[in-house]
């Protein structure tokens, strides 16, 4: 489940247009007995297996209750999975109308309905172009301060910078979205949210990370790993410059490259 995309790849020799492939990401809304239960972001495909595994793994349904048919319906931008389960097979928490608890890998797990997700319509505009040569330097700053990751290999990091490269806030957490939330919280506490032009994250970019950056009004989002298809689409709609695969002097720009300025090297 992949989507082709065009991007611009930068390295120390220059830049070139490239064809890339993105992993698909879309919401799946799960309804039990006609009531919205939860939403999970996933790669489409094998949704019946996903629903059964998720409900069983979270202790929501006894195995016998998962013999029921799961009906899938394609709606506007997401899939809805409907399952009818006798209450005898359901856990007490569900009967008391509690939704799936959010975990450290998904900031939208735990939402009941699609309307609970905030899709930003904010058009982001940086205060000026960001120097492309600054991107690798910001990655070095992010990596140099990942003390928990250096000790454990088990944490993510997020950092906010000004357009000139000044570090405003940086945090680590076992959850990617948690690290971003901590950065935004620090910026709010210090009244510096309007100064943040760049958000840099250590992992991949999913829709949730784009949504959080857009809600904070941060127009440039960088990541060490890959973006998903939905992340790229939402960044494009939000006016956000999305940069990924930031490795050394190399990085790939997926959306709004006009917000980057590149100083060409002089030739001998």
Residue that finishes a domain, picked among 46, 81, 116: 116
- 105 and 147 share one domain: no
- 233 and 248 share one domain: yes
Residue 32's SS3 state is strand
Which of the residues are catalytic? 106
Tell me the residue range of the domain where 222 lies: 121-261
- 37 and 97 share one domain: yes
Query: Which of 49-58, 142-151, 259-268 is the least confident region?
Result: 259-268
5 inside domain: no
253 inside domain: yes
- 65 and 187 share one domain: no
91 inside domain: yes
Q: Summarize the confidence of residues 259-268 as an average pLDDT.
A: 64
- 154 and 247 share one domain: yes
The predicted pLDDT at position 264 comes to 57
What distances in angstroms separate CA 41 from CA 9, 102, 133, 250, one per listed residue? 28, 12, 34, 29
Residue that finishes a domain, picked among 92, 116, 140: 116
Q: Is residue 119 scored above 70 in pLDDT?
A: no
37 inside domain: yes
**Residue 132 contacts residue 10 (beta carbons within 8 Å):** yes
Kind plus residue range of the DSSP H or E element containing 137: helix 134-144
- 147 and 186 share one domain: yes
Taking CA 76 as the corner, what is the angle to CA 71 and CA 77, rounded to the nearest 5 degrees? 95
- 152 and 255 share one domain: yes
The predicted pLDDT at position 4 comes to 92
Kind plus residue range of the DSSP H or E element containing 184: helix 176-189
What pTM, to 2 d.p., does this model score? Answer: 0.78
- 39 and 168 share one domain: no
268 inside domain: no
Distance CA 221, CA 210 (A): 8
Number of structural domains in the chain: 2
Q: What CATH number does the domain containing 144 carry?
A: 3.40.140.10
Q: What is the mean pLDDT of the chain?
A: 84
The predicted pLDDT at position 104 comes to 41
């Amino acid at each position: 489940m992949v989507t082709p995309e065009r991007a611009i790849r930068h390295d120390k020799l220059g830049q070139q247009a490239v064809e890339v492939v993105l992993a698909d990401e879309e919401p799946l809304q799960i309804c039990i007995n006609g009531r919205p239960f939860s939403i999970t972001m996933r790669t489409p495909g094998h949704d019946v297996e996903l629903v059964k595994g998720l409900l069983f793994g979270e202790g929501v349904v006894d195995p016998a209750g998962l013999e029921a048919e799961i009906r899938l319906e394609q709606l506007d931008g997401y899939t809805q999975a409907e399952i009818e389960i006798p209450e005898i097979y359901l856990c007490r928490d569900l009967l008391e109308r509690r939704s799936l608890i959010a975990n450290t890998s998904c900031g939208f797990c735990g939402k009941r309905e699609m309307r609970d997700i905030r899709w930003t319509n904010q058009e982001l505009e940086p205060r000026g172009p960001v120097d492309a040569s600054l991107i690798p330097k910001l990655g070095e700053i992010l990596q140099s301060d990942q003390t928990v990751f250096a000790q454990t290999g088990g944490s993510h990091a997020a950092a906010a910078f000004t357009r000139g490269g000044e570090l405003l806030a940086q945090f680590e957490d076992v959850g990617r979205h948690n690290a971003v939330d901590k950065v935004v919280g620090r910026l709010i506490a210090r009244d510096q949210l309007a100064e943040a032009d760049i958000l840099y994250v250590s992992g991949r970019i999913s829709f949730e990370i784009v949504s959080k950056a857009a809600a904070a009004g941060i127009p440039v989002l960088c990541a060490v790993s890959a973006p998903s298809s939905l992340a790229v689409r939402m960044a494009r709609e939000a006016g956000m410059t999305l940069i990924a695969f930031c490795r050394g002097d190399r990085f790939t720009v997926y959306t709004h490259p006009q917000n980057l300025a590149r100083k060409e090297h002089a030739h001998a």
